[in-house]
Each structure stands twice: as C-alpha cells, then as structure tokens.
Structure 1
Amino acid sequence: MAKNDTVGNEQDANCTMGTNICDIRQLIDDVDNTILELINRRLNLAKKIGELKKDTGNQVVDSTRESEILKRLTARNKGPLNPNVLHHIFIDIIAAARAIQASQRVAYLGPEATFTHLAATSQFGYSVTYVPQPSIREIFSEVEKGACDYGVVPVENSVEGSVRHTLDLFFESDLFICAERYQPVSYDLLAQEVSLGVIQTVYAHSSALNQCRAWLNQYLPQAELKECSSSAFAVEQAKKQKAAAAIAGVGAAALFGLEAAASKIEDFSRPPTRFLVIGKERVRPSGKDKTSLMFALAHVPGALASALAPITQASINLLKIESRPTRHESWSHFFFIDLEGHIADGSIQQAMDMIRPHALYLKNLGSYPMLGQGV
C-alpha cells in the first residue's frame, strides 16, 4: 500500500470517530487561514508606518512601543496560551514588521548558540541579519561605524567571560543603551531524537561540559564526551550523527532544528545573565523605565555619599551601583548606577544637575524600558 493511501485511510478512520476530528480540523484550518490573513494585514500596516518613519527620520526599532505591545497583549491573554509562548510569537511578528520597514543588522558576541546569540534572538526575532563578533569591543565598533544597527552585549553574570569590559567601553563610546534582556543560563541536551538510550557521544564546549558533568554521569554514564571550540560546532556535530547529542543553551533547539532530549541539565542553577542592546538612538519613555549613569569622583572622603544624596532627596529608587577602576591618571574609579525612571523625568534631570558639581565626569548611558529577570 502506498504511503499516501495509508495516510488517507488514517484520516478516514479519524473522520468516523464520535468527536468528529475532521470537522474540528476544518475549523482549525479556517482559524489558521484567518491568522495568516491578519498577520499579512499587520505587516502591510507596519510597512506604511515604516514609510512614515523614513519621511520623519525616526528609527525603525522602537523598544518602548514593542514593550507596550507585549505588556498589553500579556494583560489581555485569557489562556490557555502560555505567556512565554505569546511573547515569542509576537517577538517574531514584530521582527517581521521591522524587516519590512528596513533591513536590520545586529552584532553579537559569537559564534552562534552563545547565550548572547540567544538573547539577541529573544530581543529581535529571526527576521534580522545577525553578525557574530569575536569581542565586545568589536560589537561596539560595528555599531559605531554603522556596519550594524544594534549590538547585544553581556553586562552581568555572564558565563562567556568577563563582562566588566562592557562597562569600560561606555567611557570611550557615544552609543546608548536601547534595551535590556535577561537570558536564563541553562542548558539543554539537543539531539535528532529525544531518546537518551540512543545517544553514544555528547559534544559540548568545555564550560558547558563542566557545568553539566554530574547530570551526564548520572544519565549518560557510557557516552563519550567530546570538547568543542563552541556550542555552534557541537550542534553541527549532533545534526550530522543520529547517535550524537550536543549541549547548548535553552532555546537553541528551535534555532538549529533539533529536539531537546533533556532540559535544564546544569548541575547548579545560576541567575539569568543581563544583556544590553546598544545603538545610536535615545529611547522615549514607556512609563516604567530604567536610566543608567556613569560618573567619576575625586578620591576624597564622603565623595560618593555627596554624589548619591540628590538621588535620595528626589525619592528616586536606586536599583544598582557598581564601581570599576579607571585608567584615567587623575581618577581612581568609575561608578555605574541604575535608577528607576527616564532621563526625561524632571526628578532625574534635577538629580543629575545636583550630582554634576560633585563629579569629575558624568554621562547618561541611556534610558530604556525596565524588565524583570523573567523576561
């Protein structure tokens, strides 16, 4: 019997069931057709907006508007659609709308399948061109010279090397923070099949192997472990070999067309890594924003307390403070602070005016929609 005949017989059998599967499937097809029509209608409207943006000189990416869309839809969602799934669906729809308005190039700390890459796809979807870079400095450089429209850089809790260099580069750069993104530091075991019993070889970067060793010893004790130069190379090997698997970050399975044979296989959980989207444009207020500042102070007693006093006096929520040694011969440290609010807020502007006399150097790194660590 031909394969098509078998499929047809199965469908006929389903149609005779009491639940009337064929009728339900027809309703699903009708809904799918409507969804397709509505998505194309949305993209045509986005195209018109893109034409207006071009006439007025506005940027294509509007992270405030995109944040508003996701918040509104999440609030309207009655289920059973999972909020995280909703988020991913509309990130891709928004990305497709951006691609119609103008092609976008995004630089990230490569190669593919790094957590920076996964954070970038979470922010921009799959309709942009991603350009891997060997260093954070190169990401800044590509965006500054206009070769890329945006860059995605790690800034906290990264497993891919030091992120303090990111903060240092803001002193040299005129780029702004346009958005933030939190990416879970978690690993999946990716393979062509979900059965652990067929896996004989596991490919992974050395850091991933080290963080998942206890799980591998328990569930795949007979598998051969092979270190790779990158998670992307590991995934490529798993795609070529049916009895092989790769360890990569959560979310990489969809990116490379593999199955997650096991999820969250790391031995110890870690806090999400915070990433920043950097670009040349300032972001308008969203109603719930974060402003990042950097400043240098004289190395004298009470200098930091005097600089922070205006923030307390203005009842501004100080979200974070971090210090970094500076190479400037006259200054000892830079301070980086995150404040709740937008630079357009009168209270933050007033606080900056009061900080400025105490600071040897003061710079606004940008205001952008504030996200929770689960986003």
Structure 2
Amino acid sequence: MHKEQTDNNFKERLTQLRESIDNIDNNLLELINKRLEFVQDVGKLKAKEGCQVLDSTRESQIFQRLLELNKGPLNEKVLRHLFTQIMAASRQLQRPSRVTFLGPEATFTHIAAMNHFGHSVEYIPQPSIRDVFNEVEKGTCHYGVVPVENSIEGAVNHTLDLFFESELKICAEKYQPISHDLLCKGGTIHDIQKVYSHPQAFAQCRRWLQKYLPKAALKECGSTALAAQKAAKKQGTAAIASSEAAHMYQLEVVASRIEDAAKNTTRFLIIGKDEIHRTGEDKTSLMFVTSHIPGALYKVLKPIADFGLNMVKLESRPTKHENWSYFFFVDIEAHIEDESMQKTLEEMKKLCLFLKSLGSYPRANEHKGSLI
C-alpha cells in the first residue's frame, strides 16, 4: 500500500511539473511570435528609410545585455545559440538573406557562417575566396564569410590580397574553434591506406598522423569537406574533417580531436556593404602602404600609440606591383567614429602613400567558442 501511494505521489508530481513546463512553452511561443511581429514593424520602418537589415551593433548589444541578465542555469553557449536563431528568423522576416561562403558545405567556413547567422538564411557555397567577394560585390548575396587567419598557421594571404581590389567592408568577425576528426566510410583505423584533407589540416594533425597512420598516403584537397566527399566514395580511405562533415556525408568518426595543438582557432570575416555603427567594444581594420624609406613604418604606426589606441594585429603582404613594396594590414581596438581613431587616421594619412579603411565592427571574443 505504501509503495502504491508513493507511485501515485510521483505520478501526480510529475504531471504537475510537466503541465508547468507546457504552460511556459506556450508562453515562450506566444512571446517569440510577438517579438517577430515587432520585428516586421521594424522591417517596414527600415524599408521606408532605406536602412540595412543586418545591424551588427544592435545584435551585439542584445547579446551583451542578455549575458549580463542571465543568472543560470541556462548555459552561455545555449543562450547564444537560441538567440542567434531567433535573430536569424527576424532578419529573414525583414528581408530573406543569402550568405555565401568558401565551400563546399560542412567546411569550417560554413560552420562559422551558420554560427554567426543561424540556420534561417540561404547559404551559397563558392569554390574560391575570390568568388565569395565577387558574389557579394555583384549583390547576388548579401554577405560573405571568408577565413582570414588561423592561430597556428597564420594569415590567409589570399583574403588579405583581395581587400586591395574590393570596396567591400568588414561587417563582423567570428572566431571558430577548429577540431579535426578522422572520418571514413567503414572499418577500423587499420584498414585506412589513404587520407584526404586540406594542407592546413594535415599540418595541424602532423604528429598524430605520424604516430597512428605512418604508412598512409596523404592526398591534399581544396577543403576538408571535399576530402570527406572523396572518403565517402571508397573503402580504405579516410578524411580529416569536422564532425559536421561526418553527419553530412554519412561517414563514421574513427578518431576525434586529432589535432596536435589544443585551442586551435580560425578567425573569419563577414564581408558586405554595410557601415556598422559603434558599440563601444569595436575593432577597425586598415590597409596602407608606406614610403620605401628608413623608419617609415614606425612613423606611420606612432599615431596609434600617441592617441592611446591598442594595435592587435600587424601583417604585411607584397603589393605585386613593385619589388620589395608592401601593403600593411593593421587591426586597432577602436571604431572609426571614435574621436581618437579619427585623429589617428588624420596623422597616418600624412605619412602613407595609400591608406584604406576596411571597416569598423563589433569586436568578437575569441574565447566564447562555438554557438552550435
């Protein structure tokens, strides 16, 4: 009798808790739809005034406010993922967005794009970084996502070079943790005779491959996703790619996280035609050429320190127009609307043969990790 009473109490309490959860779900659904109705009104106002749909400044402020309000137990990553999807749905209501990226699907660029824009937008893969720039410049796609540097392998030079030719702006940045898995169609690690992957992935997994697959032939591909496609066609072959690629191309994960160095991260840029307003936590990217005289670079960079700004990146690339002539790329923690940044630019212009702002945008935190 006692056990029967206990069972009844358990069932009754469980029913009550589930009813409470259902009521909250109902309220959440109603509130989300109410939010989207307001979003539609915002979209009509933006359309009337000719304003851009994506407002990185506003979205950055929303995330910052919600993270400060969150007292748990909701995990920060889950919070970011939930509201990324809600804001993606909001943008789609205002104007369906097309985002292009360095493909094919399931590349780390694709993953970074989905983490930034959510799953509601239309994604268009491209075979090269130049094609990503071209599609956004033509207006075929609203935004593009391209890799710009890796914490281990360094800068993606082709991306840097294309900014000289393009009038596109950097609208946002995204840090994506990179984790490599060994994928194959079936069998065990002992059956693998050939491994496909991108050259950078091979470089990042070199010690693991020497230890566990010393006799396997390594075949380079244009992307980790293309490597997964090849591995899916034949037994005895494998790919180094993402776990997302395993799901997409019906492969099995033979070994996880085979990269040699932990905390491997790639920085991606979201490129478009929007001018992004300041948030107070911003970054500005510049591109310039100095005179070919002693001390020229020092003189150009000196105003950054003089006006109390923090330089977080400096990269050089050959101009390709004249031997031993270089473009310099610099990232500064400030917004172009800041008075200190404007004064810095005024002084730098006096000392540069060429100076171009590549955009100001909200500064991403590389330690936040993936949103999905």
Question: Taking structure 2 as the reference length, what is the TM-score of the superposition?
Answer: 0.82
Q: Which residue does the alignment assign to 1:38?
A: 31
* Contiguous gaps of at least 5 residues in structure 1: 1-12
The answer to whether the 8 A contact 1:213-1:267 is kept is yes
Q: Which residue does the alignment assign to 1:3?
A: none
The answer to whether the 8 A contact 1:289-1:340 is kept is yes
The answer to whether the 8 A contact 1:114-1:231 is kept is yes
Q: Distance in 1 between matches of 2:17 and 2:350?
A: 70
Q: Deviations over 1:72-124 (max 9, x none)?
A: 11111111111011111111111011111111111100001111111111110
Q: Which residue does the alignment assign to 1:177?
A: 170
Q: Which residue does the alignment assign to 1:206?
A: 197
Identity of aligned residues (%): 52
Aligned residues: 355
Distance 1:251 1:19, change over 3 A: farther
Q: Is 1:155 aligned to 2:130, yes or no?
A: no
Q: CA deviation at 1:301?
A: 0.2
Q: Which residue does the alignment assign to 1:9?
A: none
- 3-state SS of the aligned residue for 2:10? coil
Q: Is 1:21 aligned to 2:14, yes or no?
A: yes
Q: Deviations over 1:267-309 (max 9, x none)?
A: 3325311110000111000111001111001110011111111
Q: Distance in 2 between matches of 1:315 and 1:150?
A: 33
Q: Which residue does the alignment assign to 2:298?
A: 305
Q: Distance in 2 between matches of 1:78 and 1:259?
A: 38
Q: Is 1:292 aligned to 2:285, yes or no?
A: yes
Q: Which residue does the alignment assign to 1:10?
A: none
Q: CA deviation at 1:21?
A: 2.4
Distance 1:301 1:125, change over 3 A: same
Question: Taking structure 1 as the reference length, what is the TM-score of the superposition?
Answer: 0.82
Q: Deviations over 1:16-73 (max 9, x none)?
A: 6368323222222222222222111111111111111111111111111111111111
- 3-state SS of the aligned residue for 1:327? coil
Q: Which residue does the alignment assign to 1:278?
A: 271
Task: Name the amino acid aligned to 1:118.
Answer: I
Q: Is 1:51 aligned to 2:44, yes or no?
A: yes
Q: Which residue does the alignment assign to 2:3?
A: none
CA RMSD, aligned part only?
3.7
Q: Which residue does the alignment assign to 2:111?
A: 118
Of residues 253-262 and 333-342 in structure 1, the stretch that sits farther from structure 2 once superposed is: 253-262
Distance 1:38 1:214, change over 3 A: farther
Q: Is 1:66 aligned to 2:59, yes or no?
A: yes
- 3-state SS of the aligned residue for 2:171? strand
Distance 1:21 1:341, change over 3 A: same
Q: Which residue does the alignment assign to 2:340?
A: 347
* Contiguous gaps of at least 5 residues in structure 2: 1-5
